[in-house]
Amino acid sequence: MSRAAKVVSAIAVDDLTARQARAEHKRLKAEIAHHDKLYHEQDAPEISDADYDRLRQRLKAIEERLPELVDSTSPTQTVAPTPTTAFAKVRHGRPMLSLDNAFSDEELQAFLDRVRRGLERETDLAADAEIAFACEPKIDGLSISLRYEDGEFIVGATRGDGTTGEDVTANLRTVKDIPHRLRGTAPRALDVRGEIYMERKAFQQMNERQEAAGEKTFANPRNAAAGSLRQLDAGITATRPLRFFAYAWGEAEPRSWKTHSAYLGLLKEWGFKVNPLSQLCRTADEVRAFYRRIAVERPSLPYDIDGVVYKVDRIDWQERLGFVSRAPRWAIAHKFPAEQARTRLNGILIQVGRTGALTPVADLEPVNVGGVMVARATLHNADEIERLDVRVGDMVIVQRAGDVIPQVLGYVPEERPKKTHKFHFPTHCPCPLHTEVRSEEGGVVRRCTGGLECPFQQVERLRHFVSRNCFDIEGLGGTHIENFWRDGLLKIPGDIFRLPDRVDDIRRREGWGDLSVRNLVAAIEARRTITLDRFINAIGIPLIGEATAKILAQEYGAADAWLAEMLQAAAERTKAPEPAKKEKAATEVGPSYGRLCNVEQIGVTTADAMCAFFGEGHTIEIIRDLLGQLTVQPVERRAVAADAKLRDKIVVFTGELASMTRDAAKARAEELGAKVTDSVSKKTSLVVVGENAGSKARKAAELGIQTMTEAEWLAFSAGS
Ligand code: IVH
């Protein structure tokens, strides 16, 4: 079986001989089974969803032509392979079904016509009667079923083969969008169904964390969500940013609702998240407009969707329409055209990040993917190239999803040129120093060992230094950095502040004139004074990003004090080679190291990485050189007025706020003296409850903590 995207045969099904059709049917069955296994059991699909759908469509078309080929083993008759893992099995009270797909306007129209004809046949529906559809985005995650009895969450399971799934209750209990107890009155027995997913941003951050820790990274948010849910250790799942949207039910005893839209309303009352874009559409035109609207919003949504779902709103009508094999007749998934294209792989480049991590990048013949020209796509890491077996010269399939970096999904075997060579990941950094590359223990990341000497890392570090969240120097973009570096104007960050002495050299360069040079000098001078948090972020300490830099700045206050403490911590650490425990770090290693480990969000791993960084003599020279040219503003620990309304109070915001962003609300609470945290505990003083709030609001009620609605908060926090 090919390891990459197999593309369906170009011959139309009607033109196949019966023998060819039979042979292809057999091949497709095996191929679909192979991809099902990769997708459902290993969370590691080799082909895109669009290619998978194409395989299934082709199989279906062949079966329509030769119905004798249909039997119970055909993928058209089953949902997915029976799960085979270490999780206990759960039999669903009612099967979890799948949806039929529509890929075009015509297919959508055919569905709408089918529904109307079906209802005319089954009910006394008038010819011009309105059929309302509940329309929802189709979340690209994995479906689960949650069993509630007397309002209590009892058991949660994956879909599995539709009849039997895997018991992932312990893992689901860690998902914040899943209530442990339903609010208000709920049916005696209820299966709530919906989608577990991961937001794109959280997925990227998680992958960065995984990579930094040398752990497995995931190709996309869906795989990350699936992989995170199917952890045998619920403690690991708890650290993964999983989310949940509810959109269906299985068993419901008694069922009080008569329409799907009414059910969505109840879900919210019980404490679930329901997709806010869901909408009731009363005419076919409204349904089509919904599809267009969601297609436009798709790139800016925080999570991946792959289409929209239409469901007949009236449940008595759903029951009349019933099911065919694996899917209901009353619903359909209208898929978005995949943003994919094929193009030639001209080369595989190796990019060196500022910490020395080597990332393979596909150099592509530029191609239009869903309206955007793509010439580069990520190949993630050495393991991924190995898995895909893509080779220079191959025709490859490129996918672009939302704002995610384009990626290579696989190659087209039929179009592989005669002479290709397996890609060998370089053993040495592509930089002029050719330093050795080291595989991080157990991890997939390969890193250049050149450290601060590696020219490529130097350039990347400079780029980071001037970027928006660091020194934010306008007019000094990535290409300038590279050119200045090449010509010796810039080597280390301190050189940036020496550029104003070299205006004549710059003015002589191509593309520079009096005005641009003057602007650049002004931009640099404006940054000679900088806050400590930006300074810490800018120097690029491993594992320290914007948020942690802020915390460190708050903790240590001034640049000198901070640097002295870091050096002291590094010195203490070298004398204590045994791995330290956070709680014992101060006594076993030393006071400065102990203080660092105990800073919020730091811990031993990060502290060790920081100590290694500050243990490098060269690093210190670079920092001292910089400090000599700058005024670093100390970050004051927030001085709170004695009469501040929320002095010493711990506040939690939960749910969606309508009139302000979460950050703005948080900032206001801090101004009033509060400490804002994420979780509700006995120590919490106040919980501000927005729309669609879930478990935190409930916990606050259970613990008898004061709560406020958004309106109450606005009134309370207004004024001084
Ligand atoms: S309804 C009987 N609604 O799509 C109908 N499914 O291709 C049950 N999905 O298995 C499904 N968003 O994993 C429904 N708003 C939505 C959905 C949705 C995503 C997934 C779900 C389902 C698959 C079917």
Q: How far is CA 201 from the centre of its chain?
A: 5
Mean pLDDT value across residues 444-454: 82
Task: Tell me which H or E stretch contains 446.
Answer: strand 446-448
Measuring CA to CA, which residue among 693, 699, 709 is closest to residue 268? 693
CA of 91 to the centre of ligand 1 (A): 19
Predicted confidence (pLDDT) per residue in 471-493, tens digit:
999 889 888 999 999 999 999 99
138 C-beta closer than 6 A to ligand 1: yes
What percent of the chain shows pLDDT beyond 70? 94
**Predicted model pTM:** 0.49
How much is the pLDDT for 303?
94
Residue 353 contacts residue 382 (beta carbons within 8 Å): no
Catalytically active residues are 138
CA atoms within 13 A on the CB side of 511: 7
Mutate to test the pocket of ligand 1, among 53, 94, 195, 311 (most ligand atoms within 8 A of CB): 195
More confident residue, 257 or 455: 257
Give nearest CA residue, ligand 1 atom 16: 138
For tokens 């330093």, the residue is 435
648 pLDDT higher than 90: no
Whether the bond between 302 and the residue before it is cis, its omega within 30 degrees of 0, is no
Residue 338 contacts residue 400 (beta carbons within 8 Å): no
What band does 9 get if pLDDT is binned at 50, 70 and 90? Answer: low
Give nearest CA residue, ligand 1 atom 6: 138
What band does 451 get if pLDDT is binned at 50, 70 and 90? Answer: confident
332 C-beta closer than 6 A to ligand 1: no
Structure tokens at 230: 């199917």
Domains of the chain: 3-86 (1.10.287.610), 101-335 (3.30.470.30), 340-440 (2.40.50.140), 451-527 (1.10.150.20), 533-633 (1.10.150.20), 650-718 (3.40.50.10190)
Ligand 1 atom nearest to 98, measured from its CA: 24
Classify 203 as helix, strand or coil.
helix
How much is the pLDDT for 85?
55
Measuring CA to CA, which residue among 59, 34, 57 is closest to residue 47? 34
5 pLDDT higher than 50: no
Query: For 187-346, where are the alpha helices, taking DSSP H only?
Result: 200-212, 221-229, 234-238, 260-270, 284-297, 315-321
Ligand 1 atom nearest to 97, measured from its CA: 2
CA of 66 to the centre of ligand 1 (A): 29
Give nearest CA residue, ligand 1 atom 18: 138
247 C-beta closer than 6 A to ligand 1: yes
Long-range contacts (CB closer than 8 Å, 24 or more residues apart) made by 434-441:
437/358, 440/214, 441/214
Q: Strands, E, within 119-270: which ranges?
A: 133-139, 142-149, 152-158, 164-166, 189-198, 242-253
354 C-beta closer than 6 A to ligand 1: no
